[in-house]
């Protein structure tokens, strides 16, 4: 549930051009992403002036005040020590977070060098850690001995591109990609276990797991506890449902509870037409800045929730949706900011849920 690795700090002394640079970077990145900004280290600020309604009510004892107009909202609180979860929640719906300040924290940093180069003393003394690049106002060649990328403060687009690339690479390197075969259904319409049906050389449980194993670091089977013995002998690790009676939504929440640091590609066991090419497309075009990556059906315009990749930060939003009594993964994808993919072929994600569909498939395969 931590925002890491999608945050970066821009640090430097007053007068080094932090705010101007950050504004330019935000202007550029916000064309593709929802960007949050956190300024730390202000000596004092006031967002509701003395005599205004919000000030009067806050002085009367209101702990938190929200004000709004047709274009914006602001929350003002007297609590100077909110919980970390409360502070994080303000940015939980964002793709990226830019922090101005917080030199002392181990966030990845861009170090803005002032005209006198005083900030470099902190770097040489080891008082600044996790510096990823220097942003400088003058001759780039002067900084070669620091063995760090050197960016010009005047090149906003270059700095924005560096931030985007750095965070994307960290997400790919540090967020494990796990696969999950969803096999926990009752198969009531099929009349037998859909995961154990054979459309290919292997049954659907093994066939789907092998597709995922070519793309994922680890692959698991999601099932109910009463199914565990039935599937255990296939040699694939199991994640049994910790959230009961809510279908695939519970399978995903159980997987995220098992590995909250991972991105999860979930695939239903009843998708016999899914092939390696489309699963590879899902993995190649996965966007770790979004909550999820999913295919949209061109005809229905709906997202397919049971062949999709859910990022770690989706866990918080899924839990909130669950607490509201909405256990639909399709609704989550429809209402969240996700990476949308198009199917190159129709029917690839067609499911077979009943005995008639299975018999039709076998007759077509073996006329």
Nearest of 146, 126, 128, 127 to residue 136 by alpha carbon? 146
Contacts of 161 (CB under 8 A, 6+ apart): none
Give the mean pLDDT of the chain: 88
| pLDDT at 103 exceeding the cut of 80 | no
Binned at pLDDT 50, 70 and 90, residue 67 comes out as confident
Average pLDDT of span 316-332:
95
What are the tokens at 82? Answer: 């909110």
Cis before 5 (ω within 30): yes
pTM of the predicted model, to two decimals? Answer: 0.86
pLDDT digits (tens, 9 = 90+) for 191-223: 788 999 999 999 999 999 999 999 999 999 999
Q: How far apart are CA 55 and CA 125, in angstroms?
A: 45
Position 367 confidence tier, pLDDT thresholds 50, 70, 90: very low
What domains appear along the chain, each with residue ranges and CATH number? Answer: 7-47+78-173 (3.40.50.300), 176-363 (3.90.550.10)
CA 267 to chain centre: 18
Averaging pLDDT over each range in 27-31, 56-60, 102-106, which range is the top one?
Answer: 27-31
Per-residue pLDDT at 82: 57
pLDDT tens column, 254-275:
999 999 999 999 999 999 999 9
């Amino acid at each position: 549930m931590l925002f890491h690795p999608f945050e970066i700090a821009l640090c430097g002394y007053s007068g080094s051009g932090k705010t101007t640079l950050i504004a330019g970077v935000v202007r550029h990145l916000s064309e593709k992403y929802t960007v949050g900004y956190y300024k730390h280290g202000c000596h004092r600020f006031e967002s509701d002036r003395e005599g205004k309604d919000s000030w009067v009510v806050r002085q009367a004892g209101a702990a938190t005040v929200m004000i709004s107009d047709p274009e914006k909202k602001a929350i003002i609180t007297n609590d100077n020590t909110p919980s970390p979860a409360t502070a994080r929640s303000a940015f939980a719906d964002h793709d990226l977070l830019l922090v101005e300040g917080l030199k002392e924290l181990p966030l990845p940093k861009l170090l803005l060098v002032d005209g006198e180069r005083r900030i470099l003393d902190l770097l040489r003394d080891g008082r600044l850690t996790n510096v990823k690049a220097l942003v400088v106002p003058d001759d780039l060649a002067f900084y070669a001995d620091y063995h760090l990328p050197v960016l010009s403060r005047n090149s906003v687009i270059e700095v924005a591109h560096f931030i985007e690339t750095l965070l994307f690479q960290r997400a790919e390197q540090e967020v494990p990609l796990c696969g999950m075969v969803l096999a926990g259904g009752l198969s009531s319409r099929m009349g037998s276990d859909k995961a154990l049906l054979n459309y290919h050389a292997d049954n659907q449980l093994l066939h789907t797991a092998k597709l995922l194993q070519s793309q994922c670091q680890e692959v698991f089977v999601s099932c109910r506890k009463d199914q565990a013995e039935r599937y255990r002998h296939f040699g694939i690790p199991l994640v049994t449902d910790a959230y009961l009676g809510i279908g695939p939504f519970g399978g995903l929440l159980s997987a995220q509870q098992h590995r909250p640091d991972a991105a999860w590609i979930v695939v239903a066991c009843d998708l016999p037409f899914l092939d390696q090419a489309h699963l590879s497309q899902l993995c190649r075009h996965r966007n770790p800045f979004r909550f999820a990556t999913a295919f949209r059906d061109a005809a229905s315009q709906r997202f397919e929730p049971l062949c999709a990749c859910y990022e770690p930060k989706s866990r918080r939003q899924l839990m909130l949706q669950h607490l509201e009594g909405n256990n639909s993964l399709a609704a989550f994808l429809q209402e969240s900011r996700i990476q949308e993919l198009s199917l190159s072929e129709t029917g690839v994600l067609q499911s077979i849920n009943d005995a008639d569909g299975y018999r039709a498939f076998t007759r077509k395969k073996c006329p």
